[in-house]
Amino acid sequence: MNRRALLRNALIAAAAGLLLPLARPTARAAEPDADGFVSLFDGKTLDGWEGLEGFWSVQDGAIVGSETKEHAAPQTFLILKDHPVSNFELHFKYKFNTPDGNSGVQFRSKIIDPKTDRVGGYQADMDGKSTYDGSIYDEAGVAGGRNTMSNRGEKTTWDSSNKRHNEKMEQSNKELQKKIHNQDWNDVVLIANGNHITYTINGELMTDLTDESPKALQSGVLALQLHHGFVMEIQFKDIKIKEMK
């Protein structure tokens, strides 16, 4: 078909209201590896992900979220499209390329503002100063307004009455903080299975959360955070997931 015919058909479709707005393509589902993990990032594009233009890119095989004083970000997220998560084991690497910043990986979460791609729910927290890395946070109060739900160095249970019980782990918050690599790559294993969640960084269990509260989240989106109010750059790579029943 020649260009004139293509243009004519496009105009006819537009008049009929058949043309849809352009959207970032959904990534073709990768085949599981030998251990049953599926890659969520192809290392080259943001296919399958959605976020605000100008804040997310791919550089040197990593997803990069960045903001400056001149180009400040709202509270925004890069959202994995059409792939809600429930029970899973997630592996990824992250690195702050700046001495400050705040980020995290959302899971079992929901989109609360589509215009800014804002997400709320469970978050595997992290920041440029290693203050919050290894803790689980209730972003935007979607899981009942519980703020930091389990601290690094603690095993936490929220009971069926929504009451919190803490138990110290073998290594303290300060001891575990020393295992975080500032401005270098950190390896994460995040597991959510039923009401039990564990967050491991560089082979060290950072926190152990059991959520039996009525406010507990069962499923939802997966997303990467770019926190407003910072001059920062955060990178993610080698993102893969194995889902469980």
Q: Tokens at residue 35, please?
A: 């251990």
- Mean pLDDT, residues 203-207: 98
* Mean pLDDT of the region 184-188: 98
Predicted confidence (pLDDT) at residue 123 exceeds the cutoff of 90: yes
Report yes or no on 5 lying in a domain: no
CB 181 within 8 A of CB 201: no
CA distance 158 to 166: 9
Alpha-carbon span 36 to 86, nearest angstrom: 16
User: What is the extent of the structural domain holding 185?
Assistant: 23-244
Q: Given a cut of 70, is residue 21 above it in pLDDT?
A: no
pLDDT digits (tens, 9 = 90+) for 33-63: 999 999 999 999 999 999 999 999 999 999 9
Long-range pairs of 112-120 with CB within 8 A, sequence gap ≥ 24: 112/140, 112/142, 116/52, 116/74, 116/75, 116/76, 117/50, 117/51, 117/52, 117/76, 117/77, 117/78, 117/79, 117/223, 118/74, 118/75, 118/76, 118/77, 119/77, 119/79, 119/221, 119/223, 119/225
Q: Is position 10 within any domain?
A: no
* CATH code, 216: 2.60.120.560
Would residue 112 count as lying in a domain? yes
Nearest-CA neighbor of 88 among 63, 102, 105? 105
> Is 8 inside a domain boundary?
no
Helix (H) or strand (E) holding 120: strand 118-127
Q: Is residue 147 part of a domain?
A: yes
- Domain assignment present for residue 16? The answer is no
Q: What's the number of domains the chain is made of?
A: 1
Task: Please give the single-letter amino acid code of residue 20.
Answer: L
Residue 53 domain flag: yes
Any domain includes 7: no
Average pLDDT of the chain?
91
